[in-house]
Amino acid sequence: MSDHTSAAPAGSADTRDAPEYVCDVCGRAFYTDDLLVLHRGVRHPSVLDEADRDAYRDAYAAEERAIRSFRIRALGILVLLYFGFLFLYVFYAS
Amino acid sequence: MRPENPSQSDHDEDAVDDLAETAPGRLGSAIGPRGARIGAFALALVGVLLLARGVAASNAAVGLSEASSEGLSIPRWLYVATGGAAIGASALLAGFVTDRGFVNRVHEWRHGLGTRDRLRGVGMAVGSLLGALLIALIVYRGITGPQVSTINFAVVVVFAGGRAGLTMAAYAIGNPWPALNPFRAVTSRLPTGVVDYPERLGRWPAVAGILLLIWVETTTGVTNTPNLLAAAVAGYAVVALAGAVLVGSDAWFRNADPVSAFFRFYGRVAPLAWEDGRLRLSLPAMRLVEGWADEPRRDGGDGQTVDADDARLVRGLDDVAIAVALVWELTFSGFVTTEQGASVIRGVVGVGLPPILVYAVLFIGGFVVFYGAFLGAARIAVRRILTARTPRELVVAFAPSLLVIAAGYHLAHYFAFFLSLLPSLSAVLADPLSAPANPVVFTLPAWVSALNIVFVLGGHLVAIWVAHSTAYQLFPSRLQAIRSQYPFVFVMIGYTAVSLWLISLPSTTPAYLG
């Protein structure tokens, strides 16, 4: 169902016409299938059947990969910040 | 001195417990790989410690810049930048926490302190009598007492007691105003509600009222003219009683009364509150994370339904404006009481403008800038992520996080003030009808002023966690939740930079007003 796409769609403007994936429990609409699957898994876990649950696990795992790449980048920024400020203090604190 | 707040370290301890047992319940938490989470928490801790070093250096610098001109110092821009970086880095660190189950447990944690309805009733009765007595004494002593602000009952009680002490109690313990409010106690026993409150006004009257009270406080000299303060308090009392009689007690104090709104918003930060007739304890500021589920959410444990709309603090743009106004008013009064702020105003007035106009433009203009920045952040956030939520939904959801920031600023601006005036306050309260012969004011050690940095940064750090938790309520995708935060974090960095800069400047009496 959702194994080929990552659940991390960047804000691509061309898909912004109308959200077409509608949750049949609460009526909230989403732009991608993955987001709907994740929404159902998070908000309505009690109505999921076995197939839904598998789809949710797949979407969750795909998102986990995207989050891992976020973590690496965030760590890089933290390291840069730390050393950047270390050097700033070396030069300017007197 | 570490800049993190107590609640943040509570989370870390909980996190360790959380790792020890596999979280049951939600589907999500069972799937997350454990090693990555442990690694992330270790990184988060290291990061916080690293940041603590940087900030500790700027503490020392500020203490020095106020106390003397000799020795070690860092340039002010570096101190401000360090504060901003601390906020940005902690937002990134919050992004490492992606376990929904853990995030929810932190803000849903409650500890019931029992049903004590009779105690509450007695407390309300005694409180409103006390409130009525205090208001009467403020007006009476403001007129008849000595016209010296430091020993006059009215000035000391209103500013050291109400503006500083009671507000601190509101966000640190629980909202005391519903118990103290004498006007509500009186009007709820009278036939009220001559006309219906016009719903389309929303809570904008309260926004205008808060801005008006701040304006009166800063520009009319009520802080050093007890007579005038007594008149202002009496005027407020008349308006409150008339308003409550006109539109009904509930509607008035919920929508239009600035003091009630002020305390209700600050009170939401506090750990103690009455929920469903029970006194309950929560982690500080965690009641700001409101249910943003798509249906009335069922709280996992006790199966109790939370009616999302009634308990919600912020429901529309008017409430957002109140939250922004609370942040802005402290920034404004901070600015006009610094030497730099006063010289800017003198410079502008020197061109030939009336001072009061300059203050008005600065006051309203600054509020509009703060409000616009927050709205703009929401618009950018919606554009950056693929969501059907509107910018309005986002500002309404994230506005409560501003209240922790406001509480941090308030503490930074009023904590030392409150401590030093504590002897005067207890002296006038102990003997309201005669002026203290020998007023005592504490002189505080220099490190107390360094605490201000901790308060400002601490408020922002908790606000980041509140916004992070709120984002997890709003978005099904965890990555969306993280991404939605970026614009808001930049706005917060801006607020922090301004506020840290202000508290590092030497203070003075405002130009043309003192």
CB pairs under 8 A between A and B: 116
Nearest CA distance, B46 vs chain A (angstrom): 11
For residue B214, which of B319, B390, B388, B364 has the smallest C-alpha distance?
A: B364
Name the residue facing A89 among B28, B32, B74 (closest C-beta): B74
Are B321 and B494 in contact by the 8 Å Cβ rule? The answer is no
Residue contact A26–B294, C-beta within 8 A: yes
* A56: its two tokens: 């949710």
Extract the tokens encoding B123.
């407390």
pLDDT confidence band for B279 (50 / 70 / 90): confident
Closest by CA to B178, choosing from B128, B134, B137, is B128
Q: In the structure, what pLDDT confidence band is assigned to residue B69 with cuts at 50, 70 and 90?
A: very low
Give B280-291 pLDDT, tens digit per residue: 899 999 999 986
Of B33, B74, B384, the CB nearest to A11: B384
**Is it the case that residue B312 has pLDDT exceeding 80?**
yes
Proportion of chain B above pLDDT 90, given as a percent: 49
Distance from CA of B471 to the nearest CA of A (A): 13
CA of residue B273 relative to chain centroid, distance: 16
| Residue A8 to residue B477, Cβ atoms within 8 A | yes
Domain locations in chain B?
6-105, 106-504
Nearest CB neighbour to B386, from listed A31, A67, A92: A31
Question: Which of B33, B54, B480 shows the shortest C-beta gap to A85?
Answer: B54
- Distance from the Cα of B301 to chain A's closest Cα (Å) equals 15
Q: Is the pLDDT of residue B261 over 50?
A: yes
Residues of A in contact with B99 (CB under 8 A): none
Q: Do B477 and A38 touch (CB under 8 A)?
A: yes
Angle, CA of B199, B234 and B358, to the nearest 5°:
75
What is the tens place of the pLDDT at every residue in A31-70? Answer: 888 888 888 888 888 888 899 899 999 999 999 999 999 9
Q: What is the dihedral of CA B345, B351, B355, B359, to 10 degrees?
A: -50
Domain ranges of chain A: 14-92
The model's pLDDT over B404-441, given as tens digits with 9 standing for 90+, comes to 999 999 999 999 999 999 999 999 998 888 887 777 88
Return the pLDDT at B117.
74
Q: Which of B301-305, B311-315, B368-372 has the highest mean pLDDT?
A: B368-372
